[in-house]
A and B are shown apart, each in its own frame.
Chain A
Amino acid sequence: MELLVVNYQKGLFNYFLKNLSDRELSAELTQEVFLKVFTKLKTYDFHFKFSTWVYSLAHNLLVDFFRKKKNLTFTSFSNKEDSSPDFPELNTVTREDTLIQEETSEKVWNAVESLPETYRELLIMRYVNELKYEEIAQILGIPMGTLKNKIFRAKQKLVETVGEHDKT
């Protein structure tokens, strides 16, 4: 039990913190995930990686939290977003490209926190929790192709956001 807490508490805490930007709430939700892990351990399917299962519990809690808050900006994963425009035509290196090379990791991650929830969560799972695409697809219940498209769009959106942050 202790080992489980040691291994996952930092990852889970940062998962919630980057998604919610609230330390107290993140600590509370982290505790809830562990309680769910302890109580639902018997239902864990050994065909999946343990980390996938733990983060799917965390994801469900986060979705529930947003639902309770009736946060209208949080949208469930549907194929609607796939119709969003591709990268703008790029014949030359744009201002954002130059800027992002100069940005520190901290600034980029601050920009991640202002992304829409769906995009933000994907980048957090991928880079904070270091989950593989297969794992994220399993957690969110979406096909791999859709997931890769979404992550690409999240990165595209991030480039735009970093550019906007620097302009202000």
Chain B
Amino acid sequence: MIKPKDVHVDDPLLMEYVEGGLPWEEIISLEHHLEGCDRCRIKVERLRALERALIEPVLETPPASLYQQILNKAVKRRITLEELFLSLSLGFVSIFSILAYMVSRYGGTYLTHFLFHHLNISFMLKNGVRNLNRLTLLGEKLMQKFSIEGPGTPGSLLGFSGTLLLLLAVLAGLIFFNKRLITGYQKNEKK
């Protein structure tokens, strides 16, 4: 309810009235007040004039190159992320290859013995190594089953080569996948 004529309407309420944001019952009440209040009416006129001028701002068109620059930066950043992913994959594959080589060359038990006894590792890691030990023992049993002689022999070298080939295939797949992504972005960029 709008206040009596000897009390003036709050400024934000007048602003909402001019901007058309008041409910109809408040509009009726306010317009009734405005009929008898010069001060509020002048404020409303002033706000209306300002509103008319503000409502249509002169907007400038961004530089033509901006659109392309934004997309280029986004693509560049995306490629950087892909490159990071590729590097991490490569690192993972390398570490895995070295471990596979050590397992095949010296035997899983030797490796886990080395890690377990010569490195002062935490309890969690010890448990992890125990599990790794179990896995390598299982691997060695499997190798024996398929007539692969054991660690450090031509048979194990063959197993290591197979592992390495598999990892190289995974790596090639990753590179291909990344290249496809990059090419896709470059095509979008050209469009």
Contact = CB atoms under 8 A, between A and B. Distances in A.
A152 B12 contact: yes
Contacts of B21: 133
Interface in B147-191: 188
Interface of A: 1-2, 5-6, 9-10, 13-14, 17-18, 23, 27, 30-31, 34-35, 38-39, 86-87, 89-93, 96-97, 100-101, 103-109, 112, 123, 126-128, 133, 145, 148-149, 151-152, 155-156, 158-159
Contacts, number: 115
A119 to B, nearest CB: 12
- Majority secondary structure of chain B interface residues (helix, strand, loop or mixed): helix
Contacts of B47: 155
B60 to A, nearest CB: 6
Given A13-B62, A108-B50, A108-B54, A148 B67 contact: no
Contacts of B57: 14, 18, 105, 109, 127-128
B16 A30 contact: no
Nearest to A128: B57
Contacts of B15: 148, 151-152, 155
B1 interface: no
A53 to B, nearest CB: 17
Contacts of B124: none
22 contacts: A2-B188, A9-B62, A17-B60, A23-B60, A27-B62, A30-B62, A31-B66, A34-B73, A34-B74, A35-B73, A35-B74, A87-B43, A97-B45, A97-B49, A108-B53, A109-B54, A109-B57, A109-B58, A128-B59, A145-B12, A155-B47, A155-B54
Interface string B33-69: 0000011001101110110011111111111001101
Given A30-B66, A31-B66, A123 B54 contact: yes
B77 interface: yes
B13 to A, nearest CB: 9
A97 B69 CA distance: 44
A105 B54 contact: yes
Most buried by A among B15, B43, B45, B54: B54
Contacts of A89: 39
A46 to B, nearest CB: 22
B42 A13 contact: no
Nearest to B78: A38
B70 interface: yes
A126 B43 CA distance: 20
A105 to B, nearest CB: 5
B11 interface: yes
B54 A6 contact: no
B46 A31 contact: no
Contacts of B45: 93, 97
A145 B161 CA distance: 73
A86 B62 CA distance: 38
A21 B32 CA distance: 43
A-B pairs with lowest CB-CB distance, top 6: A148-B12, A108-B53, A13-B62, A101-B49, A100-B49, A152-B11
A107 B71 CA distance: 35
